[in-house]
Amino acid sequence: MGRDVIIACDFPGGEQTLAFLDRFQGRKPFVKIGMELFYAEGPEIVRQIKARGHQIFLDLKLHDIPNTVKKAMAVLSRLDVDICNLHAAGTAEMMRAALEGLTRPDGTRPLLIAVTQLTSTNQEALEQELLIPRPIDEVVMAYAENARRAGLDGVVCSPLEAEKVHSRCGRDFLTVTPGVRFADGDRGDQKRVMTPAQAKAVGSDYIVVGRPITASSDPVAAYERCLAEFIG
């Protein structure tokens, strides 16, 4: 796997998701399935999308005791997804257990990436509620390094953090970056954004793009524009 555009399929149900993917005809974009769709439709929607030939990033952000995460990850690896994730806040022990659970009997496994701090968490919440009295970007980088030391493959981060993550954790440590918008597009609720071309320039490995594609009047053209800017 290399650099790619992942479409965030943030639809409430399977019917809308499959109808959306039908529009791509022969193309098989890499898709992200999140909690909303997974909890609505269960693992069957993952099997259906996989059977259609798509690669899947299953964005369920696991965070529990190591044994529970290990067993849950074993179930997800049997779904044959390509990327899974968890919260680095679950500790290195939890991350190592997750890797063990994900590894199939033949030694293969999906990629495993970590959420460091959610972008919805600000400095004030970090200090006042989570009782972490450090600058948030320092916490993000420290959690990324914990994930790398635990053997994970990368992190979900803002494209604005991609260069720093690579310089701290190595070029091979993957940066999967949401918060991508076209230069002439609507930002929606995303505040700190980059265009696909800028994300390429800072070394993002995968961009996760939702509404600029899903809410477009021509999603296939929007997807192709993303690919052209990010990969071409």
Angle (CA) 90-95-101 rounded to 5° is 125
Q: Would residue 61 show up in a list of annotated catalytic residues for this protein?
A: yes
Q: Which residues bind ligand C5P (CB under 6 A)?
A: 8, 10, 34, 119, 156, 178-179, 188, 190, 208-212
Nearer to ligand C5P, 31 or 69 (CB): 31
Query: C-beta of 43: minimal distance to ligand C5P in Å?
Result: 19
Query: C-beta of 125: minimal distance to ligand C5P in Å?
Result: 14
Nearer to ligand C5P, 86 or 209 (CB): 209
Query: C-beta of 176: minimal distance to ligand C5P in Å?
Result: 9
37 closest CA partner among 57, 17, 61, 7: 17
83 closest CA partner among 58, 60, 102, 53: 58
Q: Which residues pair with 30 in a beta bridge?
A: 6
Q: Is residue 207 within a helix (H) or strand (E), and if so which, with residue range? A: strand 206-209
The torsion angles phi and psi of 58, rounded to 5 degrees, stand at: -95, 105
Query: C-beta of 31: minimal distance to ligand C5P in Å?
Result: 11
How many whole angstroms separate alpha carbon 190 and alpha carbon 18?
26
**Catalytic, out of 61, 70, 71, 200:** 61
- Looking at beta carbons, which residue is closest to ligand C5P? 210
CB 117 within 8 A of CB 126: yes
Nearer to ligand C5P, 34 or 203 (CB): 34
Nearer to ligand C5P, 132 or 208 (CB): 208
Write out the catalytic residue numbers. 61
